[in-house]
Structure 1
Amino acid sequence: MSDVTVRQLAEVVGIPLDRLLAQLGDAGLEKNDADAVLSDVEKLKLLTFLRHSHGRGQGELGEPKRVTLQRRTVSELRQGKIPGKGVKTISVEVRKKRTYVKRSELPELSEQRLEAEKARLALEEQQRREQELLEAQRAQEEARRKAEEEERRRREEAERAAEEQRRREEQARLEEQRQREEAEARRLAEEQAQAAAPPAAEPPRKAKAKPSAPPRPVPIPAAVRPELVAEAEETRRGKKKAAGERGKPHDEDLQELEELRGKPKKRKLKLTKAPPPEVRHGFEKPTGPIVREVTVPQSITVSDLAQRMSVKATEVIKTLMGMGVMATINQVLDQDTAVLVVEELGHKAIPQVENVLEAEIMATMNLAAQAKQAPRAPVVTIMGHVDHGKTSLLDYIRKSRVAAGEAGGITQHIGAYQVKTSHGAVTFLDTPGHAAFTAMRARGAKVTDIVVLVVAADDGVMPQTREAIEHARAANVPLVVAINKIDKPDADPERVKQELVALQVVPEEWGGDTQFVNVSAKTGEGIEALLDAILVQAEVLELKAPYDIPATGVVLESKLEKGRGPVADILVQAGQLRKGDFILCGMEFGRVRAMFNENGKPVKEAGPSTPVEVLGLSGAPNAGDEFIVVADERKAREIALSREERLRSSKLAAQQATKLQDVFSRMESSGETVDLNVVIKADVQGSLEALRGALTELSTDKVKVKVIGGGVGGISETDANLALASNAIIIGFNVRADPGARRLIEERGIDVHYYSIIYEAIDEVKKSISGLLEPEYKEQIVGNAEVRDVFRHPKFGAIAGCMVTEGQVRRNLPIRVLRDNVVIFEGQLDSLRRFKEDVMEVKAGMECGIGIKNFNDVKIGDQIEVYEKVLVQR
C-alpha cells in the first residue's frame, strides 16, 4: 500500500477530515495538516488503535471481541404543492449505531446460556427416553392385546371345531342307530309275515334246519314314557297281525317306531298294559317315611330347622301353630321348642351341647396354663390429660430406643412396639388414651400390665388425669407417675405430688406405693429412670408366660388394606406364634401367611408380649378379640361358624351392665358379698363429694358400694365405657348424657339414673340394697328442643325460639332447662306456639316458640328437655 495523505484517507474511508485528525491524535500520531503523508506503519498503528478502541483488545487469532457498526441513511420527504412555491422537498438523515459483543466475552451470560443449553439437552434426552419407553410400552401392550385376541380367536375356533365334531358324531350315531332300528324292524316284519303266511308244499329236504332264535326286543329310548311304549307295542302287534292276514307291507309299523324314537305324539295316552321289564324306570316309591337325625343347637331359626329336616318352612310353621306358637320364617326358636317340633314331625332330635367346641379350646388353654413359664416383657399404656406430653414422650422413647441405626427414622405400622433396654424389653401400646384403654377392657381383653400416668409439671392435675386414675384403679392395674415438662421455668413437681396425694396416689418417698419419675420429653432427662421404674414394677408383678405352647393373645386393631386384604395387629400373650400356624380370632380364622414387626420387617415367629402384624385371616376381627392357634383349618372354620351363628341367632350383647333393681337378687343367689360399682356425675363438686360419701356409707356385710368414677359435668362416652367395663351403674345428679353417651347407653343397656334431690338417690340405692324397692314413677324423656334465638314479649317475658331436635314437645308436661348438659331450671311451659297459633305439641324437625313460666334467663344454645313420669313395676 502506497503512502497517502490524510485528506485522501478520509475520502477513501468516508469520514470527515476533522474526525480523522482527532483519531490520529488519539492514536499518538501528530498529524495536524490535511496534506500530511501517512506511511503504512502509521496507518497500521491507526488501525490497531481503532480495533482496540472498538473491540477492547483482540483474541489470539486477531478477531475483534466487539464490533461497532454505524449506518447513515438519507431520504427525502416531499410535501404537496404549495401555491406560488411548487413542491417542497425535505431531506431526512437517519444515523444508526450498533455494537456487537462476542458471546464468549460475557461470562455470566455464557454460563447461563451453557447451563440452559445443558438443561435443554437433558430435558430433550429425558423426553426422548420417555417417548421411547412409552412407545415400547405401547408396542408391548399392543403385542399383548394381539396375543390375547389371537388366543381368544384360536380358542373360539377350537371350541367351534369341537362343537362341530361333537355334532357330527351325534348325527352319525343317531343315523347309525336309526339304520339299525330300521333293519331290525324290517327283519321283524319279514318274520311276522312268514309266520302269518299259509303253509306251502314242503320242499325237498337238503339239510336239517336250525330252530330260529326268539325275536329280540326292540331297544326303546329312555326318554319315551312307559305308557307310550305299552300302547305302541299293543298297537304294533295288532297292526302286524292284520297286515299278516292281508299280506301287505308294514309301513305303519315303521312309521310308529319312527315316532317313538323321535318326537312322541302330543296326545294323552292311557296305560293299558304294564311296560316290559326292559323299559321300566328304576325309581321306586318309598314304603315308609324317612326318619332323620336333626342336631338342634341352643337357638335356631324356623328356616334353618326346616332345612335340616328337609321339609318346607310352612310345615314347621303349621306344627308350631298346632302347638299354640305363632312364628314367622325368620323367628328364633329355643332348643326345647325346636326339639318338640322335630319330634312332632317324626324325626329324631339330638340336642347340641352348648360350647362343645369352645370347651375343647378351653381345655387346650388349661393345659397351656400348666406348662412351664418364663419371665416376659411388661405391656405398658401411657395415659394422662390432653397436651401433657404423652405423644412427645412416646416419640422420644421411640426415636432414642427403636429408631437407633434406622435410616430416616422409624415407620410405625402397628399400634404397639418394643423398647430394648439393658435390663430387658418393654412393650408400649400406642393408644389414644383412657377411652381406648377402657373400651378394649369393656370387650373383655385385659392387655395392659402397667399404666404410666403423665402429668405436666407446669399444669398439674386436670380432669382427664383424674379419669385416668379412676380407670386404672377400676382395672386394678398399678401406676407409675411420670412428671413431664420439668425443663420449663415454671415447673413445680412438688405441687403435682401434693395434688396427686389428694387423689390417694402417694409417692414412695412419702410412704406410698407409687413410683414418681421426673422426665422431660424434650431434652430426654429422666427417660432412663422411667424405663428402670417400669422394669422394677414388672419385677414386683412377676410377669410370666409359657413359651413352648400354641400361641394365644389379643387383637389390638384390624383393618382392610388394598392388595393385602384383612390385616390384624395382634399382641402375643403366651406361646410362640409362627408363620404358617392356623389361628382363630373371634369369628374370623385363617393361616398366618406373613408376619411383620413394628418396623415393617418380616419375622418368622413371635413370643409373649410381642406385637406383630398378621396377614391371612378370612376377615377383619374386632379389636379386643382373643386369638388362639388351633390344630387345623377345619376346626378353626367350624368354631368360627359356630360363633357367628350363635351371635346372629341370639342378638345379645357381649356384656350387659348391672341393673340397680337386680342387686338384691344377685345378693340372694350368690350368698356372698356383692360389689355395687357406681359412677357419679354431678353439676358441682360439692354435690359430687356428698353423694360419694353418702353412698359409700351404705355398704353392708352383704353389699359393698364402690364409687369407681366421678366428676363434674355431663355424662360422657368415657363414663359410659367405664360403667360398661366395670359392670357399674351411672348416677347423674342434675346432669344429662351427651348424644354419644346416650347412643352407647341405649345400645348396651347401661343402667342410668337421674336425680335432682340427693335424698332420693340415697334412698333408692339403700332400698335396692335392702330388697325393698316398690313400684316407682320413672322419668321418661319425651323430647328435646334447642334454643336458636331469644325474643322479648311484653306479656310472657323471654320467648325462646327453638328447633325440636328429638321426640316432641308437649305443652302440659314438665320441662327442664339444661346449659352444657347441666340442669339450671325445672318448671312448666307457659306457652307453646307455632307461628301465631297456640299448639299442644310440636314434633321433631319443626320450629316453635316456647315461653317458660317464672324463668326469663334462657340463652341461645340451651336445651329444653320435656319429660313425663311413668309408673314402673319393679
Structure 2
Amino acid sequence: MAQVTVQQLAEVVGASVERLLTQMKEAGLPHGAAEEAVSDEDKQTLLTYLKRSHGESTDAPKRITLKRKTLSTLKTAGSQGRKTVNVEVRKKRTYVKRDTEELADEEQVIEAAAAEKASREAEEAAAAAAAEEAAAAEAAAKAAEEAAAQAEPEPEPETEEDLANMDPEVLRQRAAARRKVREAEEAAARKAAVEARKLEEERKKAEAAAATAAKTEASGDTIKRPKRLHDAPVAPTAADQRKKSKGRLDRNSPAGRGKQRGHNLSLSDLDRAESGMARRRNRKKLKATHEEHGRHGFEMPTEKKSAEVAVGDMISVGELAQQMSVKAGEVIKELMKLGVMATINQMIDQDTATLVVEEMGHKVKAVSADALEESLEEALAQHSDEGTQESRAPVVTVMGHVDHGKTSLLDYIRKSHVASGEAGGITQHIGAYHVDTDHGMISFLDTPGHAAFTAMRARGAKSTDIVILVVAADDGVMPQTEEAVQHARAAGVPLIVAINKMDKEGADPDRVKNELSAKDVIPEDWGGDTQFIPVSAHTGDGVDALLEAVLLQSELLELKAARDVPAQGIVIESRLDKGRGPVASLLVQSGTLRKGDIVLAGLQSGRVRAMLDENGQPVDTAGPSIPVEILGLDGTPDAGDLFAAVESEKRAREIADFRQEKSRDTKLARQQAAKLDNMFESMTAGEKKTLNVVVKADVRGSLEAIQSALLDLGNEEVQVNIVSGGVGGIAETDVTLAITSSAVIFGFNVRADNAARRLIENEGVDLRYYNVIYDLIDDVKSALSGMLAPELREEIVGIAEVRDVFRSPKFGQIAGCMVTEGTVYRSKPIRVLRDNVVIYEGELESLRRFKDDATEVRSGTECGIGVKNYTDVKVGDLIEVFEVKEIARSL
C-alpha cells in the first residue's frame, strides 16, 4: 500500500510541518520528523482527533431550528353541495453555523486521501497494461514457433545428382512444404506487428489520459499541491465538483448542506455522518437503484444505418417501410416521386420496391417468393430418385360428347349403375375407379361431357396415361368430341377410340372414322396410329377387345413408379360432407399413401384420419394408380391441385399458410386492378348492369364449372358477379351475404339448413335449387336477358297529304289533308315532310272530321289536322304518323 511522508502530507493540506507534527503528537501518534511515513491508519487517527477537538472547542450554539405554520382553505364539491376544508401546512427548517477555519484541516486530509487513491489506481492500470503486452508478445512468439515446427521441411539433397534422381512428386511436396513454412513465418510476423502496434497505441492513450487529468487537476486546485505524487494523477476535489455543478445543491454531498456554500466540510456534518451512517447508506443505495432503473438505453444515432431489405416478388408498402425502419408515409412519398400511387396496404412488385429501397439508401436482398416451394420440390425429387421403380397399372380417362355412353361403358366394366343415379341422366362429377380385369388392373377416370365441364376434361387428360374417346356410332363427331381430341393432344397422351352404340340400327362406324380422320385421328386399318374399337355398352360386345387395347398400349408405354417413397399425386375432386367434414378424392401417382400420413394438398393440409376406396370401404394403404378418398384435411382443396405426403405437420402447415397468403395477395392485386379498369369502363361506356349470385355446390369440380359458365355469360351491358362460391350446404352466413349484396342464391345438389331457411323466408331472399347444370345456366341467361334494355323500333302507321291550308281563330293554322296510307291517330307522334325531308317532329294538336273531333282517320278519308307549335305547313307537305315499339332482347 502506498504511503506519504509528514512533509508531503503537510504540503497537500497546506499547513506547516511543525503544526502538523504538533497535532499528530496531540493525537497520540509517534511521528517526530518530516521524513517519517504516514499510513492510512495514522491519517484516520489524526482525523478522528481533529473532529473531536473541534467539536469540543466552543460552547456557542451551532444549530437553530425554525418552525412555520400556514393555514389555508380549500373548497370542494360533495354530495351535499360545496363545502370548505381547512388545510394546515407546517414547515420545519434547521440552520447550522459553519466555520471555515475549523474545516480546512479535515478537507486537506480528505483531498490527500483521494489523491493517493488515484495514484494507486494509475499504478495498477500501468502494471496491467505491461502484463498484457508481455503476454501478447509471448503468444505471438509461441505461435510462430508452432507454425515453424508443424511445417518444417525435410533436409534437401546435397548434390545435384541426388536432385536429378529424386521423384518429381517428392520435389513438388518439398517445395510446397517450404512455401508453407514461409507463409507461416510471414503470418506470425504480421500478427506480432499488429499486436505490438495495438499495445503501443494503448500505452500512448493511457499516457495522454494521465497527462490530461494531471493538467486539469493542476489548473482547477485552489490549494497548493505537489506536481507529482507517486507518478499518478490526483482525483478531482470537492472544490472542483462545486465548480462543475456551478453552485447547485447536491443533496447527497455534505458540502451542499447549510447556508454557506463556500467550503467543503464541517465538524457537525461529520458527527451527523457518524451517527446516521447506516441510514444514509441505505438512502444512497435506493437512489442509485432508482437512477439505474430510470436511465434509458437509447442513444442518439450518429450516422444513418444501412439496412438489408428482403424483397420478394410482391411486397406491401407497410412491410417495406417496417424493414427499413421508416414511416410508411416516407415510402409513399418515394413512390409518388416515381409516379406510383399506392396506399400502405397495396402490393408493389419487386422492381418498384428495389428502386425505392435504393433511393432511401438501403441494400436490396432479392428473395425468391417460392423458396418454400422449391425446397419441397427438391425433397420430393430426392424421394423419387431414391425409390425403386416398379411397374404400375395404367390410368385411363374416358372422354367424349354428352350422352354418347361414357358412363354406361364404365358401368358395364364395373358391373354398377352410376348413370342411373345422376340427375338428368348425365354425369356431372369426375369419378375415379380401379377394376381388376382378366388382363390386369386398370384405373378409370370418368369425365363429364357437358360443355361447362371443359376444365374437368382438361384435368382428366393431364392426369392420365391413356385417353379413351367414346363416340356414338349413330351421332358422329360432336363439339365435345373435338374438344376431347384437342385436350388429349395438348397432354401428349395416346388416344383409343371406342365407337359405342353399335347395337343400334342407325350405327355407322365408317362415318365416325371419316369425321375423325378429318380431325387428323387416323385409324390403324387406314394406315394411322389410333386404335378404333367398336363396342356396345348395353350388350358388352367389344368391351374385352377395348380392355386388351388399353393394356397393350400401357405395355408399350412401360409405365413405372416408385412404391417405397412418400406418396404424390393429384386431387381429383373434393367436397364438404356434413358429418365427416372435408372429403378429398385423390389419385396416387407415385409412392404409397398410408393412414396417418401428413398430406399437403394445394392450400390445405392435415393428417389422414381415414382412407376409403371408391366403394366406400376403408383401406390402410394406397399405391400408385389407386384412387382413394381421404378425411382429415382442414379444407376442401381445388380439383386439379397436386398433393404430397410430407414429413411433419409443422412443415405442411407452413407451406399451406404461405400458399394461402400468396393467393390472397394475388387476389387483392387482381381486385384492385379490376376496380380501376371497371372505373374507367364505367366512365367511358356507362354503368353495367350486374346480377349478383352466391353459388354453393356439392363438389369443387361442379363449383368450378358453374363459376366458369356463369362468368362467360353477359355482354357489354350486363354481367354476372359471383359474390361468393363454396362447397357444402347453404348456411346462414351465405344468406346474410346475399342480403347484403342483393344477390340470388344458387344451390347445386345442396340444400339450406333450418336457420338459413328461416332467414330466407323472413328476408325474402331469392333461393333456387338445381341438380342439372344446363338448367341453372338457362335460368341465369334468361335473367340477364330481362336486364337488357329493350330495343326501340319505329313503325309508320299512317301518312296524310296536305291539300289546303285554312286559318282558324281558335287553333290557328289548319291543314286540310287526305289520308293516303294507313291510319292517322291523334295520340301518336308525327313528322312533317317536305320534298321527302323531315322539317318538323312533334305531335297533333287537333284532328277533325268536318266539325267533329276524331281520334283516328283511316286511309282514303279527308280530315283537318292542326300541328302543335308549328305554323309553316304548306300545300303538298306530308304528315307522317308513327309509333315506337319496344322489342325484348336476349343474350
TM-score by length of 1: 0.42
